[in-house]
Structure 1
Amino acid sequence: MTRYVQRLAAFVAGFLLLATLAAGAQGTGSSPASLPGAVSKPAASQGAEAEADTASLDDLIRILENDATRQKLVESLKASAYKAPEQASGEGEAAMPGEALAETLAGRIAASMQMVIDGAIETSKGIADSLMAAVDLASGAESLDLPNLLQTVAPVALVAASVFAALALASLLKRGPIARLSRRAERAGPISKLLLLALATLIDTLAVAGAALVGYVVAVAAFDARPTLNQLLFLNAFLAIESAKIVLRAFASPTRPALRMTPFSDRHARYWFFWFSRVISVLGYTFMFVAPLVQQSSSPRAADAVRFFVVTACALLAIGLILRNRGIVRERLKRAKRNGDTSLRARVHAFIGQIWWALAALFVAALYLVWLRSPEDGLAFMTLATLKTVGAMALGGLVASILARLIVRGVKVPDSVKERLPLFERRLNGFIPSALTVARVLVILAVIATTLEAWSLVSVSDWMATERGQRWVGGLIGAMIVVAIGFAVYVAISSWVEYRLNPKFGRVPTSRERTLLSLFRNAFTIAMIVVVSMLVLSQIGINIAPLLAGAGVIGLAVGFGSQKLVQDIITGAFIQIQNAMNEGDIVELNGISGTVEQLTVRSVGLRTVEGTWYLIPFSSVDRVANFSKDFAYYVADVAVAYRESIDEVKVMMREAFDELRATEVGQNIIGEFDLWGVQELANSAIIVRGRMMTKPSTQWAVGRAYREIVKRMSDERGIELPFPHMTVWFGEDKRGNAPPIHLTPPEPAAVPSPAPAPQTAPAGLPPRGPAAPGAPGAGEDFGLLDARGRLIPPSRSDLDEAEDGPDAAGRT
């Protein structure tokens, strides 16, 4: 119970605050005529004031025409001018304690509380007056004359029936075109979908206009005269209500999911469109058709009663819908935060999800009470402010949604453009999403400003009309234009350089052109960033003269403090002037050989054959060895054995060159083979040298192919290509005889077998000793003893026993 009491108290407090703000908004403005609920003076009093002003002007003219009276007027004005400061100072001294008290924190808090209390009291009185007005409006229902009302409505019934029949027929006819637009929208982008939605809205508008035209024709044809006032009231109400429904249908697209630009599900879109369209129809036909008919047929009090009951029912219905769907909307707004999104947007949505229903209910209640207090001016103000707010939010939300989709989707360029400009799409997607994000923020700010001005809280248009506002807005627009033009120029220059460097289109660029164009692009990018930054600062009102002076001083300091950097730039400039190397060249710098992949104003990037990338500043480069300058040579050194004929080797080398020229690699050879002859008598080979001129950077491929052919021909012709080997010498005696060396392959290791059981000599035979060395058949005699005195069988030898080891006797 306490929870519901707290909610009710919060609702009442918020309602009082909202009503106070609404009353304050009505009390601010430039002219009373523009304010809702402003009380205008009677015409008689206004005429009296005008006559009094005219009389005063006549008296002043007569005083100024007479010299004496004019002199007295001047003297009195001088006297008043001298006395005014004294009176003002006296009043200031008297007011000092009160002003000092008001400037303190306690005084400000007290003044704020007093303002809130006064506003609450005024709002309470307004609510009471509104309730009394409601009772007065309801009492007018007694004067309702139903028979006369039905008689008044009868001539309009035929027109209404024809209008709704024509609208139903138009709805059937437009299904086909709308369905085709929906099918096309399923595979269309945001801009294309928006255009298709505009076409569908145009079809809906034509259908409504056609139905209204049918009603007008029926009214003229059926009554043989111009349409009556009541018929025109109905046609006007029909056009206004159906136009509002067209806007609502374009926003929600309940039956056209493919054309929907808002984040509604199909069920929610149909649900909210159903109820909003009913409320619009009821309120529209009541205020624009039914109430005027009741006033005409019965009385103004009866018309007021009809309006009161209809508005009360619609307000209760709106509050009921809000309370019924508060949980669904809350869960939808908290979905991102619940899924783990911790961004500011997710937190704001979650907070709004908690309180949206209270704000919406308070708004409906405030709108209802303002209508009760001032059915014409107050309702007109809040209705206009509401329409402006909803329109701004709808349009801003649509634009922001389209921009968000474009940011996520990016920019796609045709394949033909990608072939010519491979980096064009990446450059666009590097800038356009950021620019669209800025535009999205500006759209949100514009929606907020429009909402504040619609409710007379902040006058943004008045601020923009001032000199300061125009300067800020003009500077912002100018800065955006400068950035856009700068980016367009950068993309144009970079794309031109990229097109010139593309070997697939146009003339193939040389390495020199690639180097200079790359350096130009880098230097132009830096210069463009500096110039655009200065122009942007100048547009937003910052004086760039001190910045330029400071930049000069900083540049001078950097020049003295970073001499290595200056040396890098100067050395790099001279290297480029002398055309020492270009991108794609194979060079050697500081003992590192590789391909030049990147050249800037202060460094060079090398890629070695192993894939290692080196960044070498120009200040550390003392010499440059370029292997790709104009042409190259491959020096062929063929080593043969001393026993080979040099003439045969030369013939083989020439034939190998001729065969090489016939291959695909041979297309890189320039000129004939220059055979020099014997270059060196090495330790174990004769070096025969030849040389051939090749295109730049192809000497290594030519050399590899030539060596393969020489190896194959030498094998075919029996020409020995020596290889490293070693000769072992055992020495010789004085007579020149060297001891013979017999090399035999090693015998396979014998597999040990189990030792036989010990045997004893036959009885009567004395034991025999070991046989003499070299005695025949010694190894075959039975009864030989080993070193331990054991018998050796004929199938084994001393070596076998020795290999068996000390424990051979145990393996029996």
Structure 2
Amino acid sequence: MSHQVRLAPNLILLLSLLLSLWVPTASAQAPSSAQSQYGELADALEDDGRRERLIEQLRGLERAAEPAPLGMEGEVPAAQIAASSPSGQTAEQVSFARRMAAATGNIAGDLGQQFAAITGVVTGWFGSDSGAGVAPASETALDMKTVGAALLNLAMLVVATFVVFWALRALAGSAFIRLSRWASRGSEKLAILRTAAAVGMAAVADIVVVALAYLAGSFIASLLTEQLAADATRLALFLNAFLVVELVKAGLRMLFSSRYEGLRLLPVAAEQARYCNRFLAREAGLIGYGMLVLVPVLNFNVSPSVGNGMGTLIMLLALVYAALVILRKRTVLRTALAQRAEHHHGPARLALLGLSRVWHGLALAYALLVFAVTVLNPETAVPFVATATLQTLLYVGAGLLVSVALGQLIGKEIHLSERINASMPRLQARVNTYVPTGLKVIRALILTLVLVVCLDAWRVYDLAAWYGTEAGAMTVSALLDILIILALAAAVWVALASLVEHKLSPGENSTPAQAARGETLMGLFHTTLAITIIIMTVMIVLSEIGVDIAPLIAGAGVLGLAIGFGAQKLVQDVITGVFIQLENAMNTNDFVSVGSHSGTVERVGIRSVALRDLYGTYHIVPFSSVDAVSNFTREYGNHVGEYGIAYRESIDDAIVQLEAAFEALKDGEHKDNILAPMTVAGVTALADSSVNIRVVIKTTPGNQWAVGRAFNRLVKIYFDKAGIEIPFPHTTLYFGEDRDGTAPAAPVRLTDDRVVSTQSGK
């Protein structure tokens, strides 16, 4: 029978369990042979009634073996507390504080039972031989011999597996060095992409090394099982733990690579990365090998209570070690986060500053939560916590990687070619405005998604179940549709605005008037396009979120009709402004006269025009009050000057001096503003005290006043040199006359400030 048990241990264990269930008094009777047990089991399975009773007994044992029901994270259900309450409370009346007290009491009770079990086992191993429950010396020696052989086999597998693993790591070191150097070279713009690619390739190589070491360990385990009759289950426990722990360490090396600078995803210094990697690797090794190897072995070979106690001890050691490291490094990380916050603005700065103050509290709370959950429900808590933690690290790592990549792209300015900038001068500025804004929105959405999936990993809510509902699917679909609509609206705005700029932007040979008209029309079209796109986008977004826009459109039509009747002046302003722009009556920087105001055009809108007069006064003139537009800066301007000379002067000599003054004007600073030779129109009037001569000088638009002022100065200079009198008003004093037609003398003498008039003989 021992041979059969050695060949098929699982089958014999199952048969023994079934027989012990079916024949409950077998322990009091003499043991039967294996043949009789097989026959009894066969008879029980052939009989329908006995088979049903056997199934019922198995179900009863299954229900009896179930652990006591616990709530979320070990919380005792209110129904269980209410059942034990002497006052007869219902489940709804049990307070939260009492449930928490019950959960805390369970933790203390579990800890006491687990450590008592460990103490009993240790006392039984190393205590005296006398007393109840102590095995005989021969049996103890046999157990110690068996344990020693098992430990020797396990040690051989551990040493061989790690030797192969370290050898493969050493061989892959040259590849890691080359990847690190490649990631550190090149342009700064693509640094994060090269780093991500290098880290990805290094991670693949690291995983291959772990897999090869695992395969080598499996081969060695098979040899130990065949040659030395080692327990394959214990060896498989170590190999599985090795695979899990080393894969976790490979993930940590992606974030905190201490030996290779270019293969580190997180932007931390080498010393900090080395410390974090060492701390987290130790925690992973302690928890992984302890909970996946030592605890199962104790559960199977000693007792479940001893295994649970050892698991609690392992988690307690991990908790104490983590708490010491967190408290020791709380100031260092706080300073680092505060310094990083100085480089950010807005919500990111506030988040980093807040995290720098409370990070150690959050870390300690997380460690305590993991420890409490593990103590309350070690069988399911450890896999859950490990899976949730690994998922959180993966989500946060991927989110940080994408966030850093987008941050580098946001800080880079996009440069377009000179040809594109010449035809669409505002496109580069517009692209450098909308692209960073879009990247910031994408980064915020990614960080929000990371937070959502991290909460889902910790079972705060069931994201998959929510998405499976109609409301969840509609919400996600509407959100994606809104993002696509906004992106398309921005793309349409950029495309149409750039097309308008391409059509209206002045070319190299454009005149100032054409350039001004282009600026005016671009402003008008940009305003119209922006209003149209915004209204259409808002309407489509409202329809996506479930708002019926038909009443809004009907209401907008009625409102527009009411505005049309009640604001006829406004409608007239808009319509008149459109026709003024289509007729190119005025443009920005033109000097015009509209209504009762004259000045330089600073802005032309769809309803009014803004003027700045010579005194700096800012006028806004509605188009409805504009009955005529006088533009003084269209195509060219004329300086029309009339210069008067005395009647006794020669007209021809005066014209010669006027032409000489014009020649001097052409050689001065205004030579580029003169478009044609001066035209002498001739004598325009024989005035009361002067003979007026008119000249016309054709100038560039807007410069006729400056040219006229300069020409007036030169005319005065040249007339003075030639002795030509420019008449001015004269005053004649008449003292009367005698009857014979003679006038008495009226001598005038100036004495100080008084004028004294004396007559002859006085």
State if a TM-score over 0.5 links the two structures. Answer: yes
Matched, 1:442 2:445: yes
Q: Distance in 2 between matches of 1:458 and 1:542?
A: 28
Q: Which residue of 2 aligns with 1:271?
A: 275
Give the structure with higher Rg (CA). 1
CA spacing shift, 1:266–1:287, aligned 2, 3 Å: same
Matched, 1:482 2:473: no
- Aligned residue for 1:690, secondary structure, equals strand
Cα pair 1:331 1:353 within 8 Å, conserved = no
Cα pair 2:202 2:263 within 8 Å, conserved = no
**Percent identity between the aligned chains?**
32
Q: Which amino acid aligns with 2:362?
A: W
Cα pair 1:315 1:368 within 8 Å, conserved = no
Q: Which residue of 2 aligns with 1:685?
A: 690
How do residues 384-423 of structure 1 correspond to structure 2 at under 5 angstroms?
384-399=387-402, 409=411, 411-414=413-416, 416=418, 421-423=424-426
How do residues 423-442 of structure 1 correspond to structure 2 at under 5 angstroms?
423-428=426-431, 430-432=433-435, 435-436=438-439, 438-442=441-445
1:668 Cα offset (Å): 5.3
- Aligned residue for 2:585, secondary structure, equals coil
Q: Which amino acid aligns with 1:593?
A: S
Q: 2:542 aligns with which of 513, 537, 541?
A: 537
Cα pair 1:182 1:256 within 8 Å, conserved = no
1:404 Cα offset (Å): 6.5
Q: Distance in 2 between matches of 1:472 and 1:170?
A: 48
Matched, 1:362 2:364: no
CA spacing shift, 1:669–1:136, aligned 2, 3 Å: same
Structure scoring higher RCO (CA < 8 A, sep ≥ 6) equals 1
- Aligned residue for 1:456, secondary structure, equals coil
Q: Distance in 2 between matches of 1:633 and 1:134?
A: 108
Q: Which residue of 2 aligns with 1:132?
A: 113
Q: Which residue of 2 aligns with 1:773?
A: none
Q: 2:102 aligns with which of 118, 121, 126?
A: 121
Q: Which residue of 1 aligns with 2:642?
A: 637
Q: Distance in 2 between matches of 1:400 and 1:424?
A: 26
Q: Which amino acid aligns with 1:282?
A: L
CA spacing shift, 1:721–1:346, aligned 2, 3 Å: same
Q: Which residue of 2 aligns with 1:188?
A: 188
1:124 Cα offset (Å): 3.4
Q: Distance in 1 between matches of 2:444 and 2:509?
A: 43
Q: Which amino acid aligns with 1:467?
A: E
CA spacing shift, 1:356–1:263, aligned 2, 3 Å: farther
CA spacing shift, 1:428–1:414, aligned 2, 3 Å: closer
Cα pair 1:635 1:690 within 8 Å, conserved = yes
C-alpha distance after superposition, 1:129-166 (max 9, x if no partner): 46534554676776672354224433653452243144
Q: 2:459 aligns with which of 456, 460, 472?
A: 456
CA spacing shift, 1:614–1:506, aligned 2, 3 Å: same
- Aligned residue for 2:94, secondary structure, equals helix
Q: Which amino acid aligns with 2:280?
A: F
CA spacing shift, 1:226–1:679, aligned 2, 3 Å: farther
Cα pair 1:589 1:624 within 8 Å, conserved = yes
Q: Which amino acid aligns with 2:642?
A: D
1:542 Cα offset (Å): 0.6
How do residues 16-27 of structure 1 correspond to structure 2 at under 5 angstroms?
none
Q: Which amino acid aligns with 2:322?
A: A
1:543 Cα offset (Å): 0.6
1:333 Cα offset (Å): 7.5
Q: Which residue of 1 aligns with 2:92?
A: 111
Q: Over aligned residue pairs, what C-alpha RMSD do you find?
A: 4.9
Matched, 1:317 2:321: yes
Cα pair 1:675 1:690 within 8 Å, conserved = yes
Q: Which residue of 1 aligns with 2:602?
A: 597
1:653 Cα offset (Å): 3.3
Q: Distance in 1 between matches of 2:249 and 2:392?
A: 17
Cα pair 1:166 1:210 within 8 Å, conserved = no
Q: Distance in 2 between matches of 1:263 and 1:205?
A: 18
1:600 Cα offset (Å): 1.5
Q: Which amino acid aligns with 1:364?
A: V
1:646 Cα offset (Å): 0.6
C-alpha distance after superposition, 1:458-513 (max 9, x if no partner): 22221222222222221121111111111111122223333445446686645544
Q: Distance in 1 between matches of 2:449 and 2:387?
A: 18
Q: Which residue of 1 aligns with 2:495?
A: 492
CA spacing shift, 1:543–1:257, aligned 2, 3 Å: farther
CA spacing shift, 1:239–1:179, aligned 2, 3 Å: farther
Q: Distance in 2 between matches of 1:599 and 1:347?
A: 48
1:246 Cα offset (Å): 3.6
- Aligned residue for 1:637, secondary structure, equals strand
Q: Distance in 1 between matches of 2:507 and 2:288?
A: 67
Q: Which residue of 1 aligns with 2:163?
A: 161
Q: Which amino acid aligns with 2:193?
A: L
Q: 2:572 aligns with which of 555, 558, 567?
A: 567
1:572 Cα offset (Å): 1.6
Q: Which residue of 2 aligns with 1:552?
A: 557
CA spacing shift, 1:404–1:367, aligned 2, 3 Å: farther
CA spacing shift, 1:574–1:502, aligned 2, 3 Å: closer
Alignment gaps of 5+ in structure 2:
1-17, 23-43, 53-87, 126-142, 227-231, 754-762
- Aligned residue for 1:111, secondary structure, equals coil
Q: Distance in 1 between matches of 2:90 and 2:483?
A: 44
Matched, 1:248 2:259: no
C-alpha distance after superposition, 1:417-458 (max 9, x if no partner): 666655445534654565455445534443343233323332
- Aligned residue for 1:614, secondary structure, equals strand
Q: Which residue of 1 aligns with 2:532?
A: 527
TM-score (norm 2): 0.69
CA spacing shift, 1:507–1:261, aligned 2, 3 Å: farther
1:597 Cα offset (Å): 2.9
1:613 Cα offset (Å): 3.6
Q: Which residue of 1 aligns with 2:627?
A: 622
Q: Which amino acid aligns with 2:430?
A: R
Range moving further from structure 2, 604-613 or 590-599: 604-613
Cα pair 1:629 1:696 within 8 Å, conserved = yes
C-alpha distance after superposition, 1:561-613 (max 9, x if no partner): 33332221122233234433233432112333222232111011223345544
- Aligned residue for 1:188, secondary structure, equals coil
Q: Which residue of 2 aligns with 1:67?
A: none
CA spacing shift, 1:290–1:172, aligned 2, 3 Å: farther
Cα pair 1:220 1:226 within 8 Å, conserved = no
- Aligned residue for 2:92, secondary structure, equals helix
Alignment gaps of 5+ in structure 1:
1-41, 56-106, 747-812
Range moving further from structure 2, 582-591 or 311-320: 311-320
CA spacing shift, 1:243–1:728, aligned 2, 3 Å: farther
Cα pair 2:221 2:235 within 8 Å, conserved = no
How do residues 34-49 of structure 1 correspond to structure 2 at under 5 angstroms?
none
Range moving further from structure 2, 303-312 or 194-203: 303-312
Q: Which amino acid aligns with 2:365?
A: L
How do residues 174-253 of structure 1 correspond to structure 2 at under 5 angstroms?
174-175=176-177, 177-179=179-181, 181-182=183-184, 188=188, 192-205=190-203, 207-209=205-207, 211-212=209-210, 240-252=244-256
Q: Distance in 2 between matches of 1:204 and 1:226?
A: 33
C-alpha distance after superposition, 1:94-140 (max 9, x if no partner): xxxxxxxxxxxxx9998253566356536634653465345546767
Cα pair 2:241 2:293 within 8 Å, conserved = yes
Cα pair 2:478 2:544 within 8 Å, conserved = yes
Work out the number of aligned pairs and report it. Answer: 637
Matched, 1:585 2:590: yes
CA spacing shift, 1:514–1:694, aligned 2, 3 Å: same
Q: Distance in 2 between matches of 1:374 and 1:347?
A: 36
Q: Distance in 2 between matches of 1:695 and 1:331?
A: 66
- Aligned residue for 2:548, secondary structure, equals coil
Q: Distance in 1 between matches of 2:270 and 2:350?
A: 28
CA spacing shift, 1:196–1:682, aligned 2, 3 Å: same
1:531 Cα offset (Å): 0.7
